[in-house]
Every structure is written in structure tokens, then in C-alpha cells.
């Protein structure tokens, strides 16, 4: 399983547990105290939705064998979050009849806002990944160019060293020839020397 997914999952479970506690506490409150508690609960709901989107993106980027199990977990988390949202609507409604009415209306309408925000979140994460990939490709190209320059420099050095060795080799042959000639001259001089002595 992905460590990233597990991190998101851990955060989601903590926020979900906190949301359940806050809903229970808010249902016991009334009037102004309840109104003050609701924005905090809504912020946690938004954070939970964001974590579910992130888990969804991470799960879809994994191998199919791992993906199936994670997507199944995600369905449970989405269902759990929908139950919490229903509870929040009941808590935030002035009376139970209005909460029931809103619940019936919501169940008949698709969650288009949630879907579009999910899509927006996926697009943003995808474009972020593309940007990161582009940056990595640019860095790889720079590294490749640097490596190519180093390779060219090494080849030039090797070529220069080869030329130096070839020159030294020719010089040694020249010295060898000179020594051979000197030996011949010395040999002929020693013959002359014998004749005169």
C-alpha cells in the first residue's frame, strides 16, 4: 500500500472522528452557541472532502491490484462522510421537519458541486504532477548536456595525449637511428685505429 495514501487515510480518520464528536456536541447546544460551532464543523467537512479527493488520486495512480482495495475503502469513506453531512444538516436545521425535507431534496439531486470540485482537484493535482515531471526532464537534459561536455573534454585530452605519445615514439626512433649511426661510425673508427697502430 502507498505511504502517501496511508497518510491521507490517517488524517481523514482523525478528522472524521472529530467531526462525529463535534456533531454530537453541537446537537446538544442551541441558539448562538450552535451557530458558532457550525463554521468549524463545515471547515472539517471541506478538509475531509479534500483528503478523499487526494486519496482517490493517489489510489488511481497505483497498480491495479492495489487500486481495487483502496477504491473500495474510499467508497466506505465517502459513504461515511455523506452520513456525517446528513447529521450536520439535521443539527444545523432550526427544526427536525426542515432537516427531513432538505434530506429528501438532496437525495433526489446529484452532487454536481462535489463532482466539479473533485474534477478540479484532480486537474490541479495532475497539472502539478506534469509540472514536476517537466522540471525533472529539464534537469535530466541539463545533466545530459553537462555529461556530454565532460565526455568531449575527456576525448580531447585523450587525443592530445595520443599525439604526445606518437611524437615521443617518433623521437625515440630518431634517437635509435642516431645511436645506430654512431655505433657504425665508432666501429669504423676503431678499424682505422687498428690499421694505424
H/E stretch holding 150 = helix 112-196
Tell whether the torsion through CA atoms of 43, 116, 108 and 59 is positive or negative. Answer: negative
For residue 96, what pLDDT is reported?
Answer: 42
Residue ranges per structural domain of the chain: 1-93, 135-196
pTM: 0.46
Per-residue pLDDT of 7-52, as tens digits, reads 888 998 998 888 888 888 877 777 777 777 888 888 888 998 998 8
pLDDT in tens, 98-137: 555 555 555 554 455 555 677 887 888 888 888 888 888 8
What pLDDT does residue 196 have? 65
**Residues contacting residue 8 through CB under 8 Å, at least 6 positions apart:** 51, 54, 55, 58
Q: Assign domain 1-93 to its CATH superfamily.
A: t-snare proteins (1.20.58.400)
Amino acid at each position: 500500500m502507498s505511504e502517501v495514501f496511508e497518510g491521507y487515510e490517517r488524517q481523514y480518520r482523525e478528522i472524521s472522528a472529530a467531526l462525529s464528536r463535534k456533531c454530537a456536541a453541537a446537537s446538544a447546544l442551541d441558539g448562538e452557541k450552535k451557530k458558532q460551532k457550525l463554521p468549524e464543523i463545515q471547515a472539517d467537512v471541506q478538509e475531509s472532502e479534500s483528503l478523499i479527493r487526494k486519496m482517490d488520486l493517489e489510489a488511481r495512480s497505483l497498480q491495479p491490484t492495489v487500486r481495487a482495495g483502496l477504491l473500495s475503502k474510499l467508497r466506505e469513506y465517502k459513504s461515511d462522510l455523506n452520513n456525517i453531512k446528513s447529521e450536520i444538516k439535521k443539527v444545523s436545521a432550526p427544526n427536525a421537519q426542515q432537516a427531513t425535507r432538505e434530506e429528501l431534496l438532496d437525495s433526489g439531486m446529484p452532487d454536481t458541486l462535489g463532482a466539479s470540485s473533485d474534477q478540479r482537484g484532480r486537474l490541479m493535482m495532475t497539472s502539478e504532477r506534469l509540472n514536476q515531471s517537466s522540471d525533472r526532464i529539464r534537469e535530466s537534459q541539463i545533466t545530459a548536456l553537462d555529461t556530454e561536455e565532460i565526455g568531449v573534454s575527456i576525448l580531447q585530452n585523450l587525443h592530445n595525449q595520443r599525439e604526445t605519445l606518437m611524437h615521443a615514439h617518433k623521437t625515440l626512433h630518431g634517437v635509435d637511428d642516431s645511436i645506430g649511426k654512431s655505433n657504425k661510425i665508432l666501429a669504423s673508427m676503431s678499424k682505422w685505429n687498428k690499421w694505424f697502430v
